[in-house]
């Protein structure tokens, strides 16, 4: 059945401002429909089309024989070689079909016995159109290894472990999270030691840490095999091979399955925006031509990344890329993808030298790369058709309209986009403006400036800010004092006090206001003290900065633990109230003099005071819902670096009078601090029935606690009592009175 055409009214129903560009949107949707219908007619639909990984590459047949298939349309001859035949370039010639697919089946040694040893080296030897003999790694190979003591060039290996050594998945995929809290991680740097970390170590050491912090999704970087470790995984050479630096394929499967058992969704950082230009161990010039997988000439080269660009309008390239997505979903049980470099894909200028103002004329017309956009539409549509609970995220700086709208509605089909302007804003503020010059309106605008109905992943910083040449938020805030004044054995300095307070405020501000999902790069949750720099010639191939110093956050004498505990509490509180899955916040106050921001979301009222010196007595704030609000959360607890001067228990009653556009108001508890401004406090209030206020001040130690309101939660009320508060039993609904302190 042909794919239904796009009704222009559907597009305008999503965004009326697209009226002038409806024709272009319908046109690209028509191109998508043509491709989808062609795939349906020729292949039988997405399902068989994306299973090409079961046909191409090396496959062991039931009788023990091995079939190898490779698409190489521009070669005259092809021979399969390897350890199995002593690299004989004549003994195993391949035959070609009319589409340029070469094939050979090697008989079993005896019934059921594979003729190619497990983990042995293989290659394909070809005669190019020029008459030159060229040798390459099989494109669909599942494992390649690198021995830098011999050569930086990878070796392809035939991965066929004995049945007893094959990992068997035990856990089903977890349900699609309603609120996506992403932990961005790199297996290789997830160790404190001066070396590359492993899949096994990540499974044993990192997964429990991530789970306890309250993240429900992991985004794994640099898994697709890449020749240069320092590329952070963005120079992919073998698209179907899991990086052997960290271990073998079965160990990666165990990592993902273990995460699923913990209820954690796992996303793969998918690099389809470009490919490494390597020839001997990459896709470049695989069959001797410049145009097999890529555009020919300058169109097929990225001038800044020094890499090759795919020809997304070619039938076999689409088969390769879409099957690559399916492979990682099926073989390794990933739950979705974060697509890298989407901006580069969607525009013929690749975003180079282009500043996007937000004008709709920038997204359509001659600057749009329709072949790439249609590929993204097909990829998203296929993944969501085959895996309805899959998640796809776009890395895009341009603000492309309809990027995160479903394909049937005229969109490109992603679930989320990364809010890439947010981390840039914080860096600019910390670098160029003193605290008292921060513009609350500009900050709120950046955090809330997203397309209606299109979900965003907000983050204060990611791996980009952690890399050498940039600074993390913690380093911008505390700089060299992180090396000398983070011990609990020393007095707070103004720099450390400000840094710890702002680090927490910024993260919660972004978490609660900036989007429909949240992302953190590993280590940044506790203010990792140093940048990230992979071993390379420029640093003497040192691993000193290519690791994460978990020892500093686990050291109970250091203040990093307070930031870590805050991050944990923040995530667990979001899990309870679900503000990421709620409608966007209603911002009722952006006070430029007081530096106060007030907003409501998910039944919670958030109040941030960013003023560097001023606290406020009986500060009046508007709130929509009337009732009694009580203090249930104090960052002055010692576990957040506080002093236990302020404990939960205070109550506040609304007054039915309009204030700041809300139906009621209440006055926030006055609070004071010492003249040295080193003791800081903040509050989270909650109305009976789960309405809450969050009060934040810059010079405070803010954090999230468990709720201790008049809710029927025995453990909650016990916590009130333990911390010096009072329980309203029996009105609270507790099963029994709380224990006395």
The alpha carbon of residue 176 and the mean position of all alpha carbons in its chain are separated, in whole angstroms, by 15
Residue 711 and residue 726: Cα distance in Å, rounded?
13
The DSSP code sequence of 485-542 is S-BTTSPPPHHHHHHHHHHHHHHHHHHHHS-SEEEEETTGGGT-SS-B----GGGTT-
Query: If residue 47 lies in a helix (H) or strand (E), which one and from where to where?
Result: helix 46-49
665, 717 in Cβ contact below 8 A? Answer: no
Residue 617 and residue 669: Cα distance in Å, rounded?
7
Two tokens at 444? 């709120």
Catalytic member of 70, 184, 251, 340: 340
The DSSP code sequence of 248-301 is -HHHHHHHHHHHHHTT-EEEEEE--S-B---STTSSTTTTS-S-SSB-SGGGGE
- Annotation says 296 is catalytic: no
CA distance readout (Å), 367 to 24, 379, 474: 12, 21, 39
Residue 601 and residue 586: Cα distance in Å, rounded?
7
φ, ψ of residue 20 to 5 degrees: the values are: -70, -15
Beta bridge partners of 338: 269, 393
531, 470 in Cβ contact below 8 A? Answer: yes
695, 650 in Cβ contact below 8 A? Answer: no
Would you tell me how many other CB atoms lie within 10 Å of the CB of residue 129? 13
Dihedral, 130, 131, 132, 133 alpha carbons, nearest 10? 140
Residue 118 and residue 116: Cα distance in Å, rounded?
6
CA angle 29, 33, 36 (to 5 degrees): 135
Residue 359 and residue 28: Cα distance in Å, rounded?
19
Catalytic member of 369, 371, 381, 395: 395
Would you tell me how many other CB atoms lie within 10 Å of the CB of residue 696? 23
Would you tell me how many other CB atoms lie within 10 Å of the CB of residue 131? 8
Query: If residue 464 lies in a helix (H) or strand (E), which one and from where to where?
Result: helix 463-466
Q: Is 693 helix (H, G, I), strand (E, B) or coil?
A: strand
272, 339 in Cβ contact below 8 A? Answer: yes
Pairing of β 586-591 and β 596-601: antiparallel
Two tokens at 252? 């990666």
Residue 593 and residue 458: Cα distance in Å, rounded?
27
Two tokens at 80? 């399969």
- When computed from its CA atoms, the radius of gyration of the chain, rounded to whole angstroms, is 28
- Annotation says 290 is catalytic: no
Residue 270 and residue 275: Cα distance in Å, rounded?
11
Residue 334 and residue 332: Cα distance in Å, rounded?
6
Two tokens at 42? 């020729």
Question: Where are the alpha helices (H) located in 280-369, listed in sequence order?
Answer: 315-331, 342-346
534, 554 in Cβ contact below 8 A? Answer: no
φ, ψ of residue 392 to 5 degrees: the values are: -125, 135
Please classify residue 434 by burial: count the beta carbons closer than 10 Å to its beta carbon, then call 0-12 exposed, 13-18 middle and 19+ buried: exposed
307, 226 in Cβ contact below 8 A? Answer: no
Q: For residue 470, what is the DSSP state? A: B
Among 222, 249, 246, CA closest to 235? 222
Catalytic machinery residues: 340, 395
């Amino acid at each position: 059945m042909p794919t239904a055409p796009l009704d222009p009214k559907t597009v305008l129903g999503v965004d009326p401002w697209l009226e002038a560009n409806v024709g272009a949107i319908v046109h690209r949707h028509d191109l998508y429909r043509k491709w989808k219908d062609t795939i349906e007619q020729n292949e039988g639909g997405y399902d068989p089309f994306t299973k090409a990984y079961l046909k191409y590459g090396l496959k062991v047949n039931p009788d023990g024989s091995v079939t190898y298939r490779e698409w190489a349309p521009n070669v005259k001859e092809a021979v399969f070689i390897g350890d199995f035949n002593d690299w004989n370039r004549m003994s195993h010639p391949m035959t070609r079909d009319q589409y340029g697919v070469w094939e050979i089946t090697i008989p079993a040694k005896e019934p059921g016995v594979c003729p190619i040893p497990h983990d042995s080296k293989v290659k394909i030897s070809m005669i190019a159109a020029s008459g030159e003999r060229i040798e390459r790694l099989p494109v669909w190979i599942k494992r390649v290894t690198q021995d830098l003591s011999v050569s930086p060039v990878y070796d392809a290996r035939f991965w066929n472990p004995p049945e007893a050594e094959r990992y068997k998945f035990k856990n089903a995929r977890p349900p699609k999270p309603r609120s996506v809290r992403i932990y961005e991680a790199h297996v290789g740097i997830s160790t404190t030691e001066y070396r590359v970390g492993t899949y096994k170590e990540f499974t044993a050491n990192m997964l429990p840490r991530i789970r306890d912090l309250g993240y429900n999704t992991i985004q794994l970087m640099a898994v697709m095999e890449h020749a240069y470790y320092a590329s952070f995984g963005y120079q992919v050479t073998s698209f179907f091979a899991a990086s052997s630096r960290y271990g073998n394929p079965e160990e990666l499967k165990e990592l993902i399955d273990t995460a699923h058992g913990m209820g954690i969704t796992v996303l793969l950082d998918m690099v389809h925006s470009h490919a490494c230009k390597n020839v001997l161990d990459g896709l470049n010039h695989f069959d001797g031509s410049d145009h097999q997988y890529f555009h020919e000439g300058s169109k097929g080269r990225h001038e800044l990344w020094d890499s090759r660009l795919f020809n997304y309008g070619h039938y076999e390239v689409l088969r390769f890329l879409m099957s690559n997505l399916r492979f990682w979903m099926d073989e390794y049980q990933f739950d979705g993808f974060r697509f890298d470099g989407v901006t580069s894909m969607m525009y013929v200028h690749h975003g180079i030298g282009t500043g996007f103002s937000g004008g709709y004329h920038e997204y359509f017309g001659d600057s749009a790369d329709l072949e790439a956009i249609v590929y993204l539409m097909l990829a998203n549509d296929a993944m969501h058709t085959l895996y309805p609970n899959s998640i796809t995220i776009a890395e895009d700086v341009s603000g492309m309209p309809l990027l995160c709208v479903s394909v049937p509605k005229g969109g490109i089909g992603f679930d989320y986009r990364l809010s890439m302007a947010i981390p840039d804003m914080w860096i600019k503020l910390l670098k160029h403006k003193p605290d008292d010059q921060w513009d609350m309106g500009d900050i709120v605008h950046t955090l809330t400036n997203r397309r209606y109905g299109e979900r965003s992943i907000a983050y204060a910083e990611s791996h980009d800010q952690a890399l050498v040449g940039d600074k993390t938020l913690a380093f911008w805030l505390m700089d060299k004092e992180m090396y000398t004044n983070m011990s609990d054995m020393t007095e707070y300095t103004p720099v450390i006090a400000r840094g710890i307070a702002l680090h927490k405020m910024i993260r919660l501000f972004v978490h609660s206001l900036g989007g429909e999902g949240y992302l953190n790069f590993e280590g940044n949750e506790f203010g990792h003290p140093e940048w990230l720099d992979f071993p390379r010639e420029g640093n003497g191939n040192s691993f000193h900065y290519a690791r994460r110093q978990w020892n500093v956050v686990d050291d109970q004498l250091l203040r990093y633990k307070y930031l870590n505990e805050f991050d944990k509490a923040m995530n667990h509180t979001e899990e309870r109230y679900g503000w990421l899955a709620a409608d966007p916040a209603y911002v009722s106050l952006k006070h430029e003099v007081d530096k106060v921001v007030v907003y409501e979301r998910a039944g919670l009222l958030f109040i941030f005071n960013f003023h560097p010196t001023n606290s406020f007595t009986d500060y009046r704030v508007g709130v929509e819902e009337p009732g009694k609000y009580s203090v249930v959360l104090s960052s002055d607890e010692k576990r957040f670096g506080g002093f236990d001067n302020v404990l939960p228990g205070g109550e506040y009653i609304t007054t039915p009078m309009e204030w700041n556009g809300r139906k009621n108001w209440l006055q926030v508890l006055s609070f004071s601090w010492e003249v040295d401004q080193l003791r800081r406090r903040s509050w989270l209030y909650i109305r009976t029935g789960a309405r809450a206020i969050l009060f934040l001040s810059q010079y405070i130690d803010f954090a999230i606690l468990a709720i201790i309101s008049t809710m029927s939660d025995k453990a909650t009320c016990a916590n009130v009592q333990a911390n010096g508060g009072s329980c309203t039993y029996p009105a609270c609904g507790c099963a029994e009175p709380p224990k006395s302190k």
